[in-house]
Every structure is written in C-alpha cells, then in structure tokens.
Amino acid sequence: MSALQDQYGRTFRTLRVSLLQHCNLGCVYCVAGEDDLKQANAGKESLPVDGLLAMIGRLRDRLPLDTVRLTGGEPLLYPGLTALIRGIRAAGIGAVRMTTNGFLLERMAVGLKEAGLEALNISLDAVDEDVFFRMSRRHSVTRIIKGVDAAIAAGLRVKINAVMMKGINDCQLLPLLEFAFSRGITVRFLEVMAMGHLHDTAGRYLVSQEEILRTIGGHYRIVPEERAASATARYWTTDAGHRFGIIANESEPFCRDCDRLRLDSSGHIYGCLSSNQPITLQPHETAAEWDIKLREALGQKQALKFVGSDLSMLRIGG
C-alpha cells in the first residue's frame, strides 16, 4: 500500500465518489438556473458499476481508504446503485455512506440498508414549503421529510445537512434544529461555499458560524465538543443531550488535516474542492503511474484555507 503523504502529514483515507452530474433539484447554491441544470443533466454518461468498482478497488490497493461516500449530482438517480454498494463492501471497505437530497429516498431506504449502506447525509435546507422552493426550485418538501423518516426506520444513521444562505433560508435555522431534535438525529449547518456560479459572490450570502451560534445560543444552552481529526464539522450539544454541527469552511477552515480524495463520474480525481483541474486515471496505466497522479492530487490541497472554484458542485460532488 502506498505511503503517500504530504508535508503536513495528510494522506487520502476517505474517497468521495460523484456518481453522476444529474440532479432532480435545482438548488440555488449549486446552479444559477434551470438552463444550467438542463445542461448538466445532458452531460457525459457516468461510468458503469463495473468501471467504478475497478477504479475504487485499485485506489483501495494504493491508499489506506477506510470510507467511501457516494455523492452526485443526485446519487439515488444512478442505475445499479445497490449493486455498487455491495461491490464496494465486497472490496473490503467497511464504511459506505451517501449524501443525497432524499427526494427518492422513501422507496429506496430499505434496499440501500440491505445492500450495505451504513449512513446518510440528507440535504434539507428548509422545512417550510415556500422557503424550500426558494432554495431548491422544487416543491414537495414533504417528500424529503418522508425520506428522512424512512431512512431512520430502515436503521440507517442519518444526519441532516442544511446550507444556510442569508436572506433566503436563514429563517429556517431554528425550525431545522427542532426538526432534527424531534427525530433524535443530528443537523449540520453549512456555510455557503464559493463554488460554481457563486465563486465570486458567495460572501453576500454567508451566514457565519458566529451568527449561527448566536441564534442557537439565544434559545438553547450549548456546550462545544472537541473537533475530531479530519472532520469537516465541529459539534455542540444542548442540555437535553441533542447534538448539532457546523461546517464552517469560511469561518474555521479544516484544510490542515483533510483526508478526502474525490472521484468524479468520468474517472477524474481531485484532491480538493478548490481545484478545478481534473486528473484523469486510465485503467491501462501502471500502479506507479497512478501513484504519480495521486501525489499530484495531494498537491492540490490547500495549506490553510478553502479558496473555492468555478467548478459546480454538480460536477465534483459535495
């Protein structure tokens, strides 16, 4: 196994696999409008299950991978999803997780659990229907909520991810908190990222970690937890034992011990969301050639702070 490591002691332990560029929502932090979404949905075909499994298996041979997270686009739209999960588990990777918008989750949760999926991060940026539409350009937040409940009932470990945007959904901070607490699950609030069409304008929508804590602290007594190594989020607990997190890529960057490698739906790798320079892995290349490219990907990591990219999250995954 490769001893790949950079000057900060970072390596790759978590592989995030973007299964496809398609999505059934049109979230405002991901696409500028419906035309952008249509263009993405008409993009390149994704690698088939056997192709992805071959790449993941070779990466597993070169790196100390212990977790694979499936992302998108929207991963629940990927054909052969349960077969892919089974194949990843069979390759010896114990932790297979997924990030999804949950729109199709109600009817798929049991099958995902049976295939070997361990945990889900479900994107839910509002529980109010009107605010949900402003964020996602789609109706029926109740479908996402039913998906959340179905996943919990299936025995999957569930977290809610909510991107907070000033003037759009920041009024949902406490309702989302209460929604998660009522179900005994964790919600994580994300500072908006300077990605894609928001690369140069994300700051105008930023709801900072300080603002989030001030709002929650006005209603709950909260105690911080120690940040876990390589974690994207910091967590707090309330007196009642409820837990929430904040992914503060702007206020409190977590680059210094990042261990994530990204594989997109066309077979390119990225060492950092801040890079829009894909590195192509070819099946016919030798292990030594892959090692050179993995070192190149590791060199894409930022030393201290996320700087963003004009690459859409639809392309590279969350």
Single-letter amino acid, residue 182 = S
Name the pLDDT band for 275 (thresholds 50, 70, 90): confident
CATH homologous superfamily for 14-316? Aldolase class I (3.20.20.70)
Comparing 42-51, 117-126, 286-295, the range with the smallest average pLDDT is 42-51
Domain edges within the chain: 14-316
Give 287-314 pLDDT, tens digit per residue. Answer: 999 999 999 999 999 887 877 777 777 7
This prediction has a pTM of 0.94
Read off φ and ψ for residue 228, nearest 5 degrees.
-75, 155
- Rounded CA gap, 250 and 186, in Å? 21
Average pLDDT over residues 82-100: 96
Read off φ and ψ for residue 285, nearest 5 degrees.
-75, 155
